[in-house]
Structure 1
Amino acid sequence: MRTLGSLRDRFLAWGHRLRRPGLGGTGDINRHRFMRPALAVVVGFAGVIVVSALVLMLPVMNADGESTSFVSALFTATSAVCVVGLAVLDTGTHWSLPGQIFLVFLMQIGGLGIMTLTALLALLVIGRFGLRARLRFQQETRAFNVSDSMPRIVLRILKMSLFFEVLIALPMCVRLWLSYDKSFGEGLWIGVFHAVASFNNAGLSLFRDSLTRYNDDPWILVPAMLGIIIGGIGVPVLLELRRRLVHQRLWSLHTKLTVYTTVFLLVGGIGAITTMEWTNPATLGPMQWPQKLLVGAFHGVTPRSGGLNAIDTGAMNDSSVFATMMLMFVGGGSGGTAGGIKVTTFAVLWIVVWTEMRGHPNPHAAGRRLTPDVVRQSLALTFLSMTLVCGTVIALLAVTPFTLQEVMFEAISAGGVVGLSLGITGDLPPVAQAILVPVMFAGRLGPITVASALALRYRTRRYELPEGRPVIG
């Protein structure tokens, strides 16, 4: 069995073999060899999903003792491993206790796998460049170092994940045991399940109505909110904040962009959702103002890829639904369990727009000049994500009777690996479930593999063509 260290060495060896001398210079890339790391990642995750689907088909995993259909099992396995949270089957009633335990295992493996994969590909990208570029990369991220051993990084991520999951589960378990009609074992299991789901931004719940039945209890909703935020902010940021939490002046550019943009989106999302739903009789309207603030805050946080809900999402106003879709599309931080195009990508795009509006030649942020390759990667990731969502919407409209708003919400939720729904997931026909499986897979692995691919495909041109200026706007 290969050790984690040997896997790291093999990935780095692939990275070094990407460079070959020739007519194009040392920056040329062997396209066939370049595909190996990305192919290994895709095949590895796909293999885990297929095996997990076969396990979920076993009669012992079903509460009724019957075998689950392959399409439904594959959809559930993809949703759990890719930490999406969409469910075509009721998690609390369809799956037996062994099935639910297996889903927790898949959510945990999926979250740890994404964070570890990000660290591994970061080491691969670092190993692709020379010493000066490596030092500059390490200075800007201050999280991953090519000299670090992969087992040490994995152990650090594992310890961090377990620490936060225990911290989230503890108040939930105690509250469910002491204040609700739950035994100690039942309260412990419910708390652990939702702690793992919230930290890994998985979105699955043991209840058909998610956390709606606890929408007046801050001891349940607040830990879940914190889990979504912490798990989705990203491993590089968490590792740096652990060392320099109070020294903002020393934060790297990545941490500054992630933290500031996250705060901006959280405040804006919470304010928008709470304001627009304040008088809605189907959601926040009948509640007292403290509960309105609590539930409004929860639904301003959960679109960041959390997937849990405390009110009926399908009963929200159209304006709130659209705002939720925008938040789902952006997602959380890079290197975390959240999905979307990531907050750093969103920040870079707005910085570029603001620079263009001011007439400056180069985009700057936090005392740093953004390089052209960062801008190009951000544009490419955003365009590809929009293309994925649009293609999914067209496909779902062709095979389902649902409205454009319902289908668009479902497509963004799947592509952004969020897990929220307007209530149509359980009614999707098998062909629509089959369409969403690769969408969830692409939404989870796509941004990571594309980002590393774009970084690895950098090459130096020996000449430049004459400038051309097409008419814009």
Structure 2
Amino acid sequence: MRVEPAMRTSIYARLRDGIDSFAAATPARFAITIFTSFVLIFTLLFSLPIATSTGRPAPLVDALFTAVSVICVTGLSTVDMATYWSPFGHVLVFIGVEIGGIGVLTLASILGLVISRRLGLRQKLLAAGDANPLRIHKGPISEGQAVRLGETGSLLLTVAVSALIIELAVALLLFPRMLIQGVPVLDAAWQSVYLSAMAFTNTGFLPTSDGLTPYADDPWFLTVLMLGVVLGAIGFPVIYVLTKNLRHPRRWSLHVKITILTFALLLVLGAFAYFVLEYNNPRTFGPMDPGQRVLQSFFLSSMARSGGFSTVDIAQLDSASLLVTDMLMFIGGGSASTAGGIKVTTLAILFLAAFAEARGHSDMEAYDRRIPGDVLRLAVSVVLWGATTVAASCILILLLTDSTLDYVLFDVISAFATCGLTTGFTASTTDSAQYILAATMFFGRIGTVTLAAALAASQHPRLFRRPEERPIVG
């Protein structure tokens, strides 16, 4: 039976309208659906014999775990990423982390903008929801925020251009250092591009089995990687505002100021903690000179936020250092960034609320601005959902394995925060534990706010309020 062009157009139009209606009605569920679809597609692709270096199909657990880790830009793996996958497999990894790093809804909006040369209201709402979880819920949203709805098109352009420019710049800075190391030109070109993508997307996969060993004490190489990771983790809304008002800090939004300040404080405090705790550890910083200790402390502090690269064996860190890393990973990077975690602004909001309560103030304030109460409720929800996810995953894995809590907790938080640092537990544990870690990565990346909004689906207004009564807290 021959299908007429008009009928094909009608079918396509109905399908497009159906997808648009679903996306507009339940954007959170739409985001999870698209995300899940990408995971399933990449699982299928990684299962193909052409994707492995041996030419044999990858086991389901390895294909699924790699697909989730790639799309979630986590960096954890159950196999040796450098040797297990074929060139085709490495191309899949590269494409997957670019999709996951930018965000599936943002990428869809960018493609729509390129094709149609305009951005409709629905596309703006979807893209804005990818950048600001508050927009996922139905109802009016105050426009007193980092990026207004009318600026969504400019933000999408910033995402695309900044990702391209930053990754290209990082690759160009790494390339000559690899040539000096003796890496052949073509290999150096591929490895520099690969590493730049893994740095900006905060993934942490390595293209060679040597990893960072040849450059473990190289200040130039490690600083460039740190720069790429920080620029990816700071958040696209921050990059957008800085590109417009870099020399005019007074014009920066509250979100930008809070993000930069909290991000910098955590970076410095984390480096100081590693410097002190690992100073005399003979298995990590002990044999190094003072300058190298400072460099490695800052490198580990920046990578613990979501970068995933490491120049030392994480399993050899002091127990106190592992706990510090757990905390830094759980916090993560900036909102609407390639980093994971609960985000630095979430932490800042909780501290501002505590300071306001200690001073007896009814409102949270920062930089001469008042922060509404719904932002605090969202921050509390994010932390509780994140802590619940981590606790549930740890309990299940401890029941299924005989591993110790410190290593299990470390890799579970790394999975939830899409960091990628590991004690070695992930690759050596059972298949069942690896499936749990894959689910933890998925829930961590789609965001606790997105998941909660997807379950709620819509808000139900109530025409009454019950009597007030105050329970005892603390």
TM-score (norm 2): 0.87
Distance 1:80 1:182 in 2: 26
Alignment of 1:230-379 (within 5 A): 230-379=231-380
Deviations 1:398-422 (A, max 9, x none): 1122110000001100111111111
Checking the alignment, whether the CA contact within 8 Å between 1:389 and 1:412 is kept in structure 2 is yes
Checking the alignment, whether the CA contact within 8 Å between 2:174 and 2:192 is kept in structure 1 is yes
Report the more deviating stretch, 349-358 or 462-471: 462-471
Distance 1:454 1:365 in 2: 32
The change in CA–CA distance for 1:454 and 1:377 in structure 2 (over 3 A counts) is: farther
Checking the alignment, whether the CA contact within 8 Å between 2:31 and 2:104 is kept in structure 1 is no
1:140 partner SS: coil
Distance 2:189 2:360 in 1: 58
The equivalent of 2:419 in structure 1 is: 418
Superposed displacement of residue 250, structure 1: 1.5
* AA matched with 1:162: L
* AA matched with 2:127: A
The equivalent of 1:94 in structure 2 is: 84
Checking the alignment, whether the CA contact within 8 Å between 1:125 and 1:455 is kept in structure 2 is no
* AA matched with 1:52: F
Distance 1:114 1:284 in 2: 40
1:364 partner SS: strand
Distance 1:382 1:251 in 2: 26
Alignment of 1:160-179 (within 5 A): 160-177=162-179, 179=180
Checking the alignment, whether the CA contact within 8 Å between 1:126 and 1:146 is kept in structure 2 is no
Superposed displacement of residue 114, structure 1: 5.2
Checking the alignment, whether the CA contact within 8 Å between 1:269 and 1:300 is kept in structure 2 is yes
Distance 2:187 2:99 in 1: 23
The equivalent of 1:47 in structure 2 is: 37
Report the more deviating stretch, 219-228 or 323-332: 219-228
* AA matched with 1:119: A
* AA matched with 2:164: L
Superposed displacement of residue 231, structure 1: 0.4
Superposed displacement of residue 460, structure 1: 5.6
1:305 partner SS: helix
* AA matched with 2:313: D
Report the more deviating stretch, 213-222 or 334-343: 213-222
Distance 1:186 1:192 in 2: 10
The change in CA–CA distance for 1:92 and 1:340 in structure 2 (over 3 A counts) is: same
Report the more deviating stretch, 232-241 or 349-358: 349-358
The equivalent of 1:119 in structure 2 is: 127
Superposed displacement of residue 115, structure 1: 7.5
Checking the alignment, whether the CA contact within 8 Å between 1:114 and 1:337 is kept in structure 2 is no
* AA matched with 1:65: G
Distance 1:208 1:400 in 2: 28
The equivalent of 2:120 in structure 1 is: none
Superposed displacement of residue 353, structure 1: 1.1
Q: Is 1:444 aligned to 2:434, yes or no? A: no
* AA matched with 1:351: L
Distance 1:183 1:58 in 2: 29
Q: Is 1:84 aligned to 2:74, yes or no? A: yes
Distance 2:72 2:251 in 1: 34
Q: Is 1:10 aligned to 2:20, yes or no? A: yes
The change in CA–CA distance for 1:358 and 1:454 in structure 2 (over 3 A counts) is: farther
Q: Where does the alignment leave 5 or more consecutive residues of structure 2 unmatched?
A: 1-8, 108-125
The equivalent of 1:145 in structure 2 is: 149
2:285 partner SS: coil
Alignment of 1:183-198 (within 5 A): 183-198=184-199
Report the more deviating stretch, 75-84 or 442-451: 442-451
* AA matched with 2:160: L
The equivalent of 1:471 in structure 2 is: 472
The change in CA–CA distance for 1:454 and 1:236 in structure 2 (over 3 A counts) is: farther
Deviations 1:383-410 (A, max 9, x none): 0000000001001111122110000001
Checking the alignment, whether the CA contact within 8 Å between 1:127 and 1:146 is kept in structure 2 is no
Match of 2:62 among 67, 72, 86: 72
Superposed displacement of residue 320, structure 1: 0.7
Checking the alignment, whether the CA contact within 8 Å between 1:413 and 1:421 is kept in structure 2 is yes
Superposed displacement of residue 189, structure 1: 1.3
Match of 1:107 among 91, 97, 102: 97
* AA matched with 2:76: L
The change in CA–CA distance for 1:174 and 1:373 in structure 2 (over 3 A counts) is: same
Q: Where does the alignment leave 5 or more consecutive residues of structure 1 unmatched?
A: 16-32
Q: Is 1:384 aligned to 2:395, yes or no? A: no
2:447 partner SS: helix
Checking the alignment, whether the CA contact within 8 Å between 1:144 and 1:236 is kept in structure 2 is no
1:345 partner SS: helix
Superposed displacement of residue 277, structure 1: 1.0
Distance 1:403 1:208 in 2: 28
* AA matched with 1:44: I
Superposed displacement of residue 70, structure 1: 1.1
Distance 1:197 1:45 in 2: 20
Superposed displacement of residue 210, structure 1: 3.8
Distance 1:148 1:296 in 2: 37
